[in-house]
Chains A and B, each alone.
Chain A
Amino acid sequence: MRVEISYKFVIGFIVVVASVVLLNILVPQMQIPEWTHQWITIVGALLVGLVFGWLFSRAFTANIGILTEGAERLSDGDLSRKVRLRQGLFSDETEDLSGSLNLVVDSLRNLVGQIRSSSVKVNESSLALAATAEEMTATSHEVAGSIEQISRGAETQAEMVERVSKVTKEMANEIELIALSAAKLFQSAEETTMTARQGENMATTALGNMKQVLVQVEDNTQMMASFSEQVQKIGSIIDVITNIAQKTNLLALNATIEAARAGEYGHGFAVVAEEVSKLADSTSESAGEITRLIEETREQSQKVHLSMNESIKSIDAGREAVDVAGSSFVAIIDKAETAQVKAAEITELTGNQQTGAHSIVEAIEEIASVTEDNAASTEEVSAATEEQSASMEEMTFASQRLSKLADDLLTSVSRFNLGAEQSSERA
């Protein structure tokens, strides 16, 4: 609670008074003898007054002492401590005073602090600047060096580019050649395909013809077979006839025998039997001739059959050959088409490659031009760097000066003691 000093005086008095009063009231209450009442009251009053006074003065004095101390310090430049009054129950103007004093201290402190920090900063900055300038100098040296390197490298690069360009050009040429070949290949594959197709067609036609021939030959064979059959039938009929002729012969013989036994009655019969026998004989002969003719015919037809078989064999062989040829053509066509496809692919690829090569060449040329620019630029850079270097020197110098200034400031402010905070601020 703030109580102004005046009031505190007042209060004190009041208190003493009050205390007397109170004692006057109280003491009677107490069982103490009355005589003492006054004594007590007076004593008490006195005590109280003393005490109060003592207390107040003490505080007051202390505070004033502190205040004084503080101001002294301040004059010394010790801004490290604030004025701290003794805490009492009742603050008063001293408080205000201390406050104001503290304020002053604070402000001074701040100010000094700021000045210090700023100067420090400035110092720092100038140092940094100086460092930076040095760095930059170094860097620009480096850059210069790099630039040199670059320019050197650029030269090499240019050479390489040249080479690459050349190589790439060659490659591009070759690719073109390949493309050409591929194109030729495609063409010839096309031709081959065409030819092969033609050939296939011919083979098919040939096969067709052969089949026809075979069919005909088969027909012929069948006709021969049925002819053979007929001949065989004739043969078997002839056999029957021959058989009959033989049997007739035998019958005629037996008839003659019977006729002989019949004696004279049998003569006419014997004559007839003889005729029958002759007839049977001539039949046998004719049958024999027919058989012979059949044999001959059979031989002939056998020969024909054989030759037909030969023809069939040849045709079969031919057919096989044609078949083989046909399939060869098909294979050829297949392969040619594949070749064509592949050739096309190759052409495409080479095309791509060519394009790619061109791009490379372009890129290379760009690089080349870039390299050239690069070289030029590095020259410029080099020059610029040189300038920058000079500026750097100046800057360095300037920063040095600044730094010096900051130092000075610092020095001037160094008097002030900021205490712990100072050091912390500094740190």
Chain B
Amino acid sequence: MSQLLPFKLGSEVYALELIDVQEVVEHHPTHPLLGVSEAIIGAIGFHGRIVPAIDLPLLLGFPAGERCERMIVLTDEHGPVALAVDQLLRIIDIDLGRILSQSNSEEDCIRGVINLDGKMISLLALEQLCAVLEQVCTASGDTR
């Protein structure tokens, strides 16, 4: 049994394993960074450290919009990075064995899908996410 933190990107529900989450922060002012893709909002100050702030929906191809005031800060393993999402949902306990499929489309950065009472929750693949981020950063400034 492990716990997941689900959140909404657009109309779809995604989730992260709580183990990978360091903290959820609220109302942190983001400081813009120039010359990078729109998916990168900038950086936030997190316990005295500079942590990149990512617009997750935008990164994964969802339309631009107002994101939730709360950001999910991943553990140091994964950056750390702060992810802005559309809406945070309540933590759920889940049996990871229920992950339906391990789809490997790096487009979506999805590690698997869980069916919870008819709702489809996509589990976020963090390594892919980080790789995509690195790519985006490396590519920054080139494509435009």
Q: Are A and B in direct contact (Cβ within 8 Å)?
A: yes
Q: Which residues of A are interface residues toward B (Cβ below 8 A)?
A: 246-247, 250, 253-254, 256-257, 260-261, 270, 274
In the complex, are the beta carbons of A256 and B26 less than 8 A apart? no
Q: Mark B1-45, 1 if CB is under 8 A from A, else 0.
A: 011010000000000001101111110000000000000000000
| B23 / chain A contacts, CB cutoff of 8 Å | 254, 257
Q: Which residue of A lies closest to B93 (CB)?
A: A270
| B19 / chain A contacts, CB cutoff of 8 Å | 260-261
| B side interface size, CB within 8 A | 14
Q: List 13 A-B contacts (CB under 8 A).
A: A250-B26, A253-B91, A254-B23, A254-B24, A256-B3, A256-B18, A256-B91, A257-B21, A257-B22, A257-B24, A260-B18, A260-B21, A274-B91
Chain A interface, DSSP helix/strand/loop, else mixed: helix
Chain B interface, DSSP helix/strand/loop, else mixed: strand
Say how far B85's CB is from chain A's closest CB, in angstroms.
13
| B24 / chain A contacts, CB cutoff of 8 Å | 250, 253-254, 257
Q: Which residue of A lies closest to B88 (CB)?
A: A253
| B67 / chain A contacts, CB cutoff of 8 Å | none
| A254 / chain B contacts, CB cutoff of 8 Å | 23-24
In the complex, are the beta carbons of B70 and A250 less than 8 A apart? yes
8 A Cβ contacts from B97-135 to A:
none
| B26 / chain A contacts, CB cutoff of 8 Å | 246-247, 250
CA–CA, A270 and B5, complex, Å: 14
CA–CA, A198 and B2, complex, Å: 93
Say how far A205's CB is from chain B's closest CB, in angstroms.
64
Q: Which residues of B are interface residues toward A (Cβ below 8 A)?
A: 2-3, 5, 18-19, 21-26, 70, 88, 91
| A261 / chain B contacts, CB cutoff of 8 Å | 18-19
CA–CA, A260 and B3, complex, Å: 7
Name the residue in A246, A250, A253, A274 with the highest tally of chain B Cβ atoms < 10 Å from its Cβ: A253
| A257 / chain B contacts, CB cutoff of 8 Å | 5, 18, 21-24
CA–CA, A377 and B124, complex, Å: 155
| B5 / chain A contacts, CB cutoff of 8 Å | 253, 257
Q: Which residue of A lies closest to B17 (CB)?
A: A260
CA–CA, A247 and B70, complex, Å: 11
CA–CA, A247 and B24, complex, Å: 11
Say how far B107's CB is from chain A's closest CB, in angstroms.
28
Q: Which residue of A lies closest to B21 (CB)?
A: A257
CA–CA, A412 and B126, complex, Å: 194
CA–CA, A246 and B70, complex, Å: 11
8 additional contacts (CB under 8 A) given A253-B88, A257-B18, A260-B3: A247-B26, A250-B26, A250-B70, A253-B5, A253-B24, A254-B23, A261-B18, A270-B3
CA–CA, A270 and B22, complex, Å: 15
| B22 / chain A contacts, CB cutoff of 8 Å | 257
CA–CA, A257 and B2, complex, Å: 11
| B18 / chain A contacts, CB cutoff of 8 Å | 256-257, 260-261
| B2 / chain A contacts, CB cutoff of 8 Å | 260
Say how far A21's CB is from chain B's closest CB, in angstroms.
194
CA–CA, A253 and B5, complex, Å: 9
CA–CA, A253 and B21, complex, Å: 11
CA–CA, A270 and B25, complex, Å: 18
| B21 / chain A contacts, CB cutoff of 8 Å | 257, 260
Q: Which residue of A lies closest to B23 (CB)?
A: A254
Q: Which residue of B lies closest to A273 (CB)?
A: B91
| A250 / chain B contacts, CB cutoff of 8 Å | 24-26, 70
Say how far A421's CB is from chain B's closest CB, in angstroms.
162
CA–CA, A270 and B92, complex, Å: 12
CA–CA, A257 and B4, complex, Å: 10
CA–CA, A256 and B3, complex, Å: 9
Say how far B69's CB is from chain A's closest CB, in angstroms.
9
CA–CA, A254 and B21, complex, Å: 9
Q: Which residue of B lies closest to A281 (CB)?
A: B90
| B3 / chain A contacts, CB cutoff of 8 Å | 256, 260, 270
Say how far A261's CB is from chain B's closest CB, in angstroms.
6
| B70 / chain A contacts, CB cutoff of 8 Å | 250
CA–CA, A288 and B83, complex, Å: 28
Say how far B63's CB is from chain A's closest CB, in angstroms.
27
CA–CA, A268 and B102, complex, Å: 32
| A256 / chain B contacts, CB cutoff of 8 Å | 3, 18, 91
Name the residue in B3, B26, B88, B91 with the highest tally of chain A Cβ atoms < 10 Å from its Cβ: B91
Q: Which residue of B lies closest to A252 (CB)?
A: B91
CA–CA, A358 and B40, complex, Å: 121
CA–CA, A247 and B26, complex, Å: 8
